[in-house]
């Protein structure tokens, strides 16, 4: 190989750029290879970044970074076909610095983090798709893209949810559709004042919705809506196996979702700016590949790191956390000049000690819990039926709450036993 570096990182998403930033800061020769024309160009716009972990890498990053709004209002919405029941949490605690979470547009945000890595000394090489990892005597020694080859002591795979490279290396098997979800997202432009009035926001405050039920037409998964400065990120995440089973097409499901009486007024008058689809790893620990081999580490979505517990979709903070842990493992290996699994294996320990694997453990039962079809079909109908009974006055005597609850359970074909079982499982999994 003509050129050799300390570290080659494949993929300049948040995991790759976080690792590149930390390693370059420590003076290592780092190459960050990205297949898109710039970091973020291949990413679906939008998401909520729980950014405290980035704060550790770049203190007060939000003062410079292109963040959109800090999230002060979290809403969980149970949607039936023609109603919605919302749990609306708004707290001044989230107005305090350092902020808890921001909405971000990935096209801008990933580009910025890539630039920070470059400024720290990493060499960003955009427009190159890595075809394979070069392995000699069981050890990763470089990458190949077309006719070109590059060598390094360590390769970090940060190539996202599809990570064909991890599969080529045998670190994981073929994907099981039950472990994957399809994310479809639209970016809808609206004037700043309209967003602030419509969502009751002041200044740079923002709102994040998680929507369950009719949003996905009963398919396991959920909807989301995040406010940006002058746009709204809105979309669905739907389990791939159920989409295949039901034959539902994501484009049709999202059309119905956007036309729902609770959603349509929120996006009225908006202009479609972007549309895209992307895979989301949702299998939790069950789909996690081997995280390291001689000369190589796997981070971010490529390592299956994501949490979807119905309250939040998280992957960006786990990506950054794993990028930092990988960089620390490489620094340890560099000190010892040993890039075998004996030293690089410290990555597994660092991950296990950090919030990344701890949260994956905590929510290990969430993927199974989230497969419960009652969450998407029965509970939203039950809540809509109960709330209608409470608020509808038809000139006949009202019942007490308990008989109304019992009648709504009956209308929704929900037994008390199922309710108790789901409650117990939910408490244990979430």
Ligand X SMILES: Cc1cc2nc3c(=O)[nH]c(=O)nc-3n(C[C@H](O)[C@H](O)[C@H](O)COP(=O)(O)OP(=O)(O)OC[C@H]3O[C@@H](n4cnc5c(N)ncnc54)[C@H](O)[C@@H]3O)c2cc1C
Interacting residue ranges for ligand X, rule: CB under 6 A: 10-16, 33-36, 39, 42-44, 47-49, 129-130, 158-160, 183, 185, 235, 237, 278, 280, 300-302, 306, 313-317, 319
**What six digits make up the tokens of 369?**
């819990």
Report which of 376, 375, 188, 182 is spatially closest to residue 264, judged by C-alpha positions. 188
User: Shortest distance, CB of residue 114 to ligand X, whole angstroms?
Assistant: 9
Between 35 and 425, CB nearer to ligand X: 35
Minimum CB–partner distance for residue 145 and ligand X (Å): 7
| Residue 46 beta carbon to ligand X: minimum distance, rounded to whole angstroms | 7
Strand duo 47-50 + 101-104: pairing: antiparallel
Smallest gap from residue 395 Cβ to ligand X (A) = 46
- Specify the DSSP element, H or E, that contains 89: strand 84-90
Please give the backbone phi and psi of residue 208, each rounded to the nearest 5 degrees, phi first: -130, 125
3-state secondary structure of 25: helix
Q: Which tokens go with 179?
A: 């472990």
- The distance of closest approach from Cβ of residue 235 to ligand X in the complex, given in angstroms and rounded to an integer, is 5
Which residues contact residue 247 at a Cβ distance below 8 angstroms, ignoring those fewer than 6 apart?
none
Token pair listed for 105: 């547009």
- DSSP assignment of 96-111 equals SSSPSEEEE-HHHHHH
**Quick one: 33 or 266, whose CB is closer to ligand X?**
33
Q: How far is the CB of 193 from ligand X (least distance, A)?
A: 25
User: By beta-carbon distance, which residue lies closest to ligand X?
Assistant: 315
Contacts of 22 (CB under 8 A, 6+ apart): 57, 323, 324, 327, 328
Residue closer to ligand X by CB (options 185, 334) is: 185
C-beta closer to ligand X: residue 297 or 409: 297
Q: Which is nearer to ligand X, 36 or 383 (CB)?
A: 36
Question: Closest separation between CB of residue 94 and ligand X, Å?
Answer: 16
In the bound state with ligand X, the residue whose beta carbon lies nearer, of 47 and 380, is 47
First-last CA distance in the chain: 49
Contacts of 277 (CB under 8 A, 6+ apart): 44, 182, 183, 184, 185, 250
Which residue matches tokens 């990935």? 106
Cα 18–chain centre separation: 16
The least distance separating ligand X from the CB of residue 252, rounded to whole angstroms, comes to 17
Which helix (H) or strand (E) element contains residue 390? Answer: helix 378-391
C-alpha to C-alpha distance for 208 and 50, rounded to whole angstroms? 12
Q: Which one, 260 or 278, has the nearer CB to ligand X?
A: 278
- Report how far apart, in Å, the C-alpha atoms of 130 and of each of 51, 142, 154 are: 29, 10, 15
If the CB atoms of residues 182 and 201 are measured against ligand X, the closer one turns out to be 182
Q: Decide whether 182 or 414 has the Cβ nearer to ligand X.
A: 182
Is the Cβ–Cβ distance between 65 and 204 less than 8 Å?
A: no
Q: In the complex, what is the shortest distance from the CB of residue 279 to ligand X, in angstroms, rounded to a whole number?
A: 7
């Amino acid at each position: 190989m003509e050129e050799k570096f300390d570290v080659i990182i494949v993929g300049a998403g948040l995991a790759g750029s976080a690792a590149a930033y930390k390693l370059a800061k420590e003076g290592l020769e780092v190459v960050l290879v990205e297949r898109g024309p710039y970091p973020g160009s291949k990413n679906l716009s939008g998401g909520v970044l729980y950014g405290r972990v980035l704060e550790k890498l770049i203190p007060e990053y939000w003062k410079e970074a292109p963040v959109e709004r800090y999230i002060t209002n979290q809403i969980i919405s149970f949607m039936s076909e023609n109603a919605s029941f919302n749990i609306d949490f708004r707290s001044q605690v989230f107005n305090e610095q350092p902020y808890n979470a921001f909405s971000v547009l990935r096209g801008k945000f990933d580009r910025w983090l890539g630039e920070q890595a470059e400024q720290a000394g990493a060499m960003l090489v955009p427009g190159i798709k890595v075809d394979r990892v070069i392995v000699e005597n069981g050890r990763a020694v470089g990458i190949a893209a077309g006719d070109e080859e590059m060598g390094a002591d360590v390769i970090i795979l940060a190539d996202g949810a599809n990570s064909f490279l991890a599969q080529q290396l045998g670190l994981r098997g073929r994907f099981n559709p039950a472990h994957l979800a399809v994310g479809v997202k639209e970016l809808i432009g609206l004037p700043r004042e309209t967003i602030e009035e419509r969502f009751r926001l002041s200044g740079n405050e923002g709102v994040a919705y998680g929507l369950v039920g009719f949003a996905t037409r009963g398919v396991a998964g959920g909807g989301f809506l995040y406010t940006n400065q002058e746009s709204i990120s809105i979309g669905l995440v739907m389990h791939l196996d159920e989409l295949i089973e039901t034959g539902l097409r994501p484009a049709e499901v999202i059309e119905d979702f956007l036309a729902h009486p609770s959603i349509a007024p929120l996006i009225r008058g908006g202009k479609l700016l972007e549309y895209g689809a992307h895979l989301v790893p949702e299998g939790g620990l069950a789909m996690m590949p081997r995280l390291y081999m001689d000369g190589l580490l796997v981070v971010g979505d490529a390592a299956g790191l994501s949490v979807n517990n119905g309250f939040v979709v998280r992957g960006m903070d786990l990506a950054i956390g794993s990028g930092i842990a990988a960089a620390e493992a490489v620094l340890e290996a560099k000190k010892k000049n040993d890039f075998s699994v004996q030293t690089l294996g410290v990555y597994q320990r660092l991950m296990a000690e950090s919030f990344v694997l701890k949260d994956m453990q905590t929510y290990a039962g969430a993927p199974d819990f989230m497969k419960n079809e009652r969450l998407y079909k029965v509970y939203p109908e039950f809540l809509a039926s109960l709330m209608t009974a409470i608020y509808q006055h038809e000139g006949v005597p009202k019942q007490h709450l308990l008989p109304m609850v019992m009648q709504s359970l009956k209308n929704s074909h929900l037994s008390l036993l199922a309710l108790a079982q789901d409650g117990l499982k939910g408490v244990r999994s979430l």
